[in-house]
Amino acid sequence: MLLKHPPRFSKSVEAVVERLPALEGTSIELRFRPELTAGARKLYSRRRYGQPVFAASYIRRRIIVLDQELQQDPREMSRILTHELFHFVWVRLGNRFRQQYEALLVEELKQHARGELGWSAESRKAPLAGKPAAVHNVRFLDYACESFCDTAAWLYAGLRQHPEFTLADRHRKRRSDWFHATFLNRRIPI
């Protein structure tokens, strides 16, 4: 089993996995906690500290923690869980493919592409606007990772519409084409 999770969440987790392309790798444990917040590089549950979040991933420990609230919204759970799973893909993607994806983003920035495919990428893209020298610094690399994960969620979570999908269609198409060409006839490492 690729995703180990509490039995009461089986139906919603299995629905997400069915929509994903073929993944391969060591299993990842899913944990569900109420009222998640993050601050000072830590995740909290039922604390009045930090910024509210829906999820967090621990790559080395192979754990994803999701807010229990997502169980009430299967569409949003699909988007968030897909995003988190693709954090594991990003670290196993390899330099060549990461650099190709980053080059695609550099081209978008040069074209002053507005919008993104999720809040995670959008919040990291804004500080880079109009700063070509910022490309390939730590902030850009963080943006590239979040953009990759948000794009995967847009492609594979089964949602065609969402308020956070604000990137222009021509840029969406280029990203979609890149994903399909990169993962065509391959199992995706996770």
Taking the whole predicted model, whether its pTM rises above 0.75 is answered as yes
Pair 78, 160 in one domain: no
**Boundary-marking domain end, from 43, 59, 92:** 92
Structural domain ending residue among the three candidates 45, 71, 92: 92
Strands 188-189, 23-24: pairing is parallel
pLDDT at position 1 is: 47
Residue ending a domain, choose from 92, 117, 135: 92
Tokens standing for residue 35: 């009222």
* Order of strands, sheet of 51-52, starting from the edge strand that comes earlier in the sequence: 42-45, 36-39, 51-52
Could you report the per-residue pLDDT of 2-27, keeping only the tens digit for each? 777 767 667 777 888 888 888 999 99
Domain count across the chain: 2
The type of residue at 156 is Y
Note whether 104 and 180 are same-domain residues: yes
Residues 112 and 148 in one domain: yes
Same domain as 107, residue 60? no
**Residues sharing a CB contact under 8 Å with residue 12, sequence separation 6 or more, in sequence order:** 71, 74, 77, 78
In which domain, by residue range, is 41 found?
Answer: 3-92
Give the CATH number of the domain where residue 78 resides: 3.30.2010
Nearest to 190 by CA among 50, 57, 14, 68: 57
Mode of pairing for the β-strands spanning 36-39 and 51-52: antiparallel
Summarised one tens digit per residue, pLDDT across range 65-117 is 999 999 899 899 999 999 999 999 999 999 999 999 999 999 999 899 999 99
Instruction: Report phi then psi at 189, rounded to 5.
Output: -70, 135
